[in-house]
Chains A and B, each alone.
Chain A
């Protein structure tokens, strides 16, 4: 079967044979960048449509059904509209920060997106500190949100930004701790090592299963990561920074046109990224479902036939659906309840969980 790594190495060899080394590398960078950007936008459009359709079903509505068959082109139409909209410039804003903020927000999300492994060999970068990189770079978004709220010179945005700062920094801890729990289990910070530990054969001749099945603490870490990750995406029930009912639109109240579109895009992709990281760290990334038992070898074989990128996308979208389900069911928390949940419940559990995992691994 033709795999992505083969296609990529064929292109790479073709380029290096035909062109000088520096040019080939540059062209490869451009191709990869463009491909990632394309994927980023396409995924955002799909997610927006998916959310609108699914939330309509939750709410006994039909959802968009006019543009294209079953309303499939609705997001495209919306994208064209948002691109054509006037960008309203506001007096008395800190113009430089105002315009930098949205780039920071989207850069943070895009850089994290680039570090995901979409399939077997389908990754742009693979460091030995990949997990560390993801945790670090995904925090960049909060700087964007804080700057957006501050530079808009508006009381609503300022409250939204302050809430957002408090919320993201708090939940970053739980998210980080629960991923660290898994790093202990994997014994590596490299994403490809983490994925490799969740599939294929192990040294004793058995099958490696996903990490979530390897240790009971992993399940706790998974649930905590889902909650914390959900909070980091600023979506309901944790959508306080843009709590519509009290803050109109929170930190992005003053943005219009494509500037708003950037925040919108980043928000949707963050949802995908959080789901993607959860799928990678806990659910085996692009690894197929395997059962560690002698009788299951046929099943494992069959699962292995499904292309790896379908596995990754399938898991990620399943988690995205879960997040949509939560969002459209629960009401919003209040800021003190939100922080209480993190500092008094999630964080102590995470720390304890981390210790138990360390002991588990040593034994």
Chain B
């Protein structure tokens, strides 16, 4: 805290820190560069989240910074444009690589002009889209943007605009091509058996060697954040599960926590414990699928089916209690949707020893297989610095040695009362990312084991108002989902609909790690490295 004061006083003595959930600093666009450089110098090496805002009179950007050394440190920087016309904001993408995609997103949604950003293409929408959909005055008339009948050309996808000030201080746009004319570019996806969803990668090849990877987002962009602005809070819960469908329970948990925090609802202990058990079961299910898909991407279909077989047991537990299998819909604001099934405890207790036995089998079948080892070892290294710069959290970040487990940093629900270890590895190779998931399954089992035996008695749901209206203000909640740091930002004006909702997607940063990881590797490894990052496209596209 004191350190932050020093940092900002070195930038401009008139800046003040607002005490909110996190220390918040408001700066003008001119001061941003200097503040960002100072923050970076003083250890804030992670740009966790970047939220574009439309405040009706002017636009703004909210940056969430954190640090790899001081994990609990978090600082929020707000930048507002002077009015609705002058939208130039200096880029920070050269300081934090994660800003690259974040700023593209903010440009795509709000039309904010990030000066000196090297690649200011639209991120989710087509280059020929009219208007910026997250602006409050956006005209959603379908006549303005009819359903396109022709595909976007490769030229449109490869033209990198970049905005900078010329000598007279006017904004000018420069264009650059992504690939050379004679590069051998292969499209992988959006329809491809191994991209785990509709991700479109444009890969430049030299024989089998990868020279450049350019991910193309937006094929499953549903505008969930925009939809949230016209839905009530209980309705939004359904949308959260559709982001990262494999850790839907956790996403939903994050949103519930955020709303509960805003309303000041005390969630009954029983509900907190069951929520954590569900979170950990979801994490196991997700890691099993991630493990299986990674094996399948290396050509071992049998391992994939083994993973699916054991995941099915978890789906059965979910179905028995929550009703749903993939999207359980079990967490609601204030607690749980219903009491747990009478069979729930027995089912979970049966599952724990079974899963431990199966992990041993996985190691025999796959981990110790010489071909599998030969494929995974010495490939795709992600250093801790790169991981932090790119914002690669979750198992992939921990495999690089970055201790980024939100369950430990900002414990929520009952995570501070259970004993578990944050799995860390140091090298950040593909094999580390592979092993860390199996280790995390083991830790998740440990958490469940401690909780399942003594579920606290009591209500499963706290009393909530009939119509949920959040008090005016901003709320941010972080949760560790199966892929990393999942964040929910809610800006409320006191209505029953939020003014703005932003989800911090861990998958988008994972995808942005593909290019640095895959350069100079073989094309066969692209798929495997992608699988080792274990991204889910609907989470990135939102």
Docked complex: B350-393 residues within 8 A CB-CB of A: 365-366, 369, 371-372, 374-375
Asked if B299 contacts A60 (CB within 8 A), the reply is: no
Instruction: Give B194's nearest chain A residue, CB to CB.
Output: A245
Q: Is A243 an interface residue (CB 8 A)?
A: yes
Asked if B300 contacts A246 (CB within 8 A), the reply is: no
Q: Is A331 an interface residue (CB 8 A)?
A: yes
A-B contact pairs, 29 of them (CB 8 A): A59-B302, A59-B306, A60-B305, A60-B306, A60-B309, A155-B184, A155-B186, A156-B186, A237-B299, A239-B299, A245-B297, A245-B298, A245-B527, A245-B528, A246-B188, A246-B194, A246-B523, A246-B526, A248-B192, A329-B365, A331-B300, A331-B371, A332-B300, A333-B371, A333-B374, A333-B375, A334-B374, A334-B525, A337-B374
Docked complex: A206-254 residues within 8 A CB-CB of B: 236-237, 239-240, 243-246, 248
Q: How far is the CA of A69 from the CA of B241 in the complex (A)?
A: 43
Q: Is B522 an interface residue (CB 8 A)?
A: yes
Docked complex: B288-339 residues within 8 A CB-CB of A: 295-303, 305-306, 309
Asked if B523 contacts A244 (CB within 8 A), the reply is: no
Q: Is B465 an interface residue (CB 8 A)?
A: no
Q: Is A260 an interface residue (CB 8 A)?
A: no
A91: chain B residues at CB < 8 Å are none
Q: Is B524 an interface residue (CB 8 A)?
A: yes
Asked if A246 contacts B527 (CB within 8 A), the reply is: yes
Q: How far is the CB of A150 from chain B (nearest CB, A)?
A: 15
A59: chain B residues at CB < 8 Å are 301-302, 305-306
Per-residue CB contact flags for chain A residues 97-138 toward chain B (1 = under 8 Å, else 0) read: 000000000000000000000000000000000000000000
Most buried by A among B302, B525, B528: B302
Q: Is B193 an interface residue (CB 8 A)?
A: yes
Per-residue CB contact flags for chain B residues 510-537 toward chain A (1 = under 8 Å, else 0) read: 0000000000001111111000000000
Q: Is B139 an interface residue (CB 8 A)?
A: no
Q: How far is the CB of A228 from chain B (nearest CB, A)?
A: 16
Q: How far is the CA of A204 from the CA of B301 in the complex (A)?
A: 52
B208: chain A residues at CB < 8 Å are 159, 163, 335
Q: How far is the CA of A328 from the CA of B184 in the complex (A)?
A: 33
A60: chain B residues at CB < 8 Å are 305-306, 309
A236: chain B residues at CB < 8 Å are 299-300
Instruction: Give B297's nearest chain A residue, CB to CB.
Output: A245
Asked if A336 contacts B522 (CB within 8 A), the reply is: yes
B375: chain A residues at CB < 8 Å are 331-334, 337
Instruction: Give B185's nearest chain A residue, CB to CB.
Output: A155
Q: Is A58 an interface residue (CB 8 A)?
A: yes
Given contacts A61-B305, A330-B369, contact A335 B524 (CB under 8 A): yes
Given contacts A243-B299, A245-B297, A337-B374, contact A331 B527 (CB under 8 A): no
Q: How far is the CA of A242 from the CA of B151 in the complex (A)?
A: 28
B186: chain A residues at CB < 8 Å are 155-156, 159
Chain B residues in the interface with A (C-beta under 8 A): 184, 186, 188, 192-194, 208, 295-303, 305-306, 309, 365-366, 369, 371-372, 374-375, 522-528
Instruction: Give B195's nearest chain A residue, CB to CB.
Output: A245
Asked if B300 contacts A330 (CB within 8 A), the reply is: yes
Q: How far is the CB of B184 from chain A (nearest CB, A)?
A: 7
Instruction: Give B295's nearest chain A residue, CB to CB.
Output: A331
Given contacts A330-B369, A331-B372, contact A243 B524 (CB under 8 A): yes
Known: A159-B186, A245-B297. 19 other contacts (CB 8 A): A55-B301, A59-B305, A159-B208, A159-B523, A245-B298, A245-B299, A245-B524, A248-B193, A329-B302, A330-B300, A330-B369, A331-B366, A331-B371, A332-B298, A333-B375, A334-B524, A334-B525, A335-B522, A336-B522
Q: How far is the CB of B517 from chain A (nearest CB, A)?
A: 15
Prevailing SS type, chain B contact patch: helix
Asked if B374 contacts A245 (CB within 8 A), the reply is: no
Q: How far is the CB of B319 from chain A (nearest CB, A)?
A: 20
Q: How far is the CA of A333 from the CA of B300 in the complex (A)?
A: 10
Per-residue CB contact flags for chain A residues 268-306 toward chain B (1 = under 8 Å, else 0) read: 000000000000000000000000000000000000000
B372: chain A residues at CB < 8 Å are 330-331
Could you say which of B188, B302, B522 contacts A58, with CB atoms under 8 Å apart? B302
Q: How far is the CA of A237 from the CA of B299 in the complex (A)?
A: 7
Q: How far is the CA of A239 from the CA of B524 in the complex (A)?
A: 12
Q: How far is the CB of B197 from chain A (nearest CB, A)?
A: 14
Docked complex: A46-102 residues within 8 A CB-CB of B: 55, 58-61
A159: chain B residues at CB < 8 Å are 186, 208, 523
Instruction: Give A60's nearest chain B residue, CB to CB.
Output: B309
Q: How far is the CB of B531 from chain A (nearest CB, A)?
A: 8
Q: How far is the CA of A29 from the CA of B163 in the complex (A)?
A: 77
Instruction: Give A156's nearest chain B residue, CB to CB.
Output: B186
A332: chain B residues at CB < 8 Å are 298-300, 371, 375, 524
Instruction: Give A333's nearest chain B residue, CB to CB.
Output: B371
Asked if A245 contacts B296 (CB within 8 A), the reply is: yes
Instruction: Give B376's nearest chain A residue, CB to CB.
Output: A331
B192: chain A residues at CB < 8 Å are 248
A337: chain B residues at CB < 8 Å are 371, 374-375
Instruction: Give A336's nearest chain B residue, CB to CB.
Output: B522
Q: How far is the CA of A34 from the CA of B525 in the complex (A)?
A: 46
Q: How far is the CA of A155 from the CA of B184 in the complex (A)?
A: 9
A244: chain B residues at CB < 8 Å are 193-194, 299
Asked if A331 contacts B306 (CB within 8 A), the reply is: no
Q: How far is the CA of A61 from the CA of B522 in the complex (A)?
A: 33
Instruction: Give A155's nearest chain B residue, CB to CB.
Output: B186
Most buried by B among A60, A245, A331: A331
A55: chain B residues at CB < 8 Å are 301-302
Instruction: Give B303's nearest chain A residue, CB to CB.
Output: A331
Docked complex: A329-362 residues within 8 A CB-CB of B: 329-337
Asked if A328 contacts B523 (CB within 8 A), the reply is: no
A248: chain B residues at CB < 8 Å are 192-193
B194: chain A residues at CB < 8 Å are 244-246
Per-residue CB contact flags for chain A residues 176-195 toward chain B (1 = under 8 Å, else 0) read: 00000000000000000000
B371: chain A residues at CB < 8 Å are 237, 330-333, 337
Q: How far is the CB of B257 from chain A (nearest CB, A)?
A: 37
B365: chain A residues at CB < 8 Å are 329
Q: How far is the CA of A333 from the CA of B194 in the complex (A)?
A: 17
Q: How far is the CA of A333 from the CA of B208 in the complex (A)?
A: 14
Q: How far is the CA of A174 from the CA of B201 in the complex (A)?
A: 38
A336: chain B residues at CB < 8 Å are 522
Q: Report, nearest first, the 6 A-B pairs whose CB atoms are least far apart.
A: A332-B299, A245-B194, A331-B298, A331-B300, A59-B305, A245-B297
Q: How far is the CA of A311 from the CA of B527 in the complex (A)?
A: 44
Q: How far is the CA of A328 from the CA of B295 in the complex (A)?
A: 12
Asked if B301 contacts A328 (CB within 8 A), the reply is: yes
Asked if B298 contacts A328 (CB within 8 A), the reply is: no
Instruction: Give A59's nearest chain B residue, CB to CB.
Output: B305
Instruction: Give A154's nearest chain B residue, CB to CB.
Output: B186
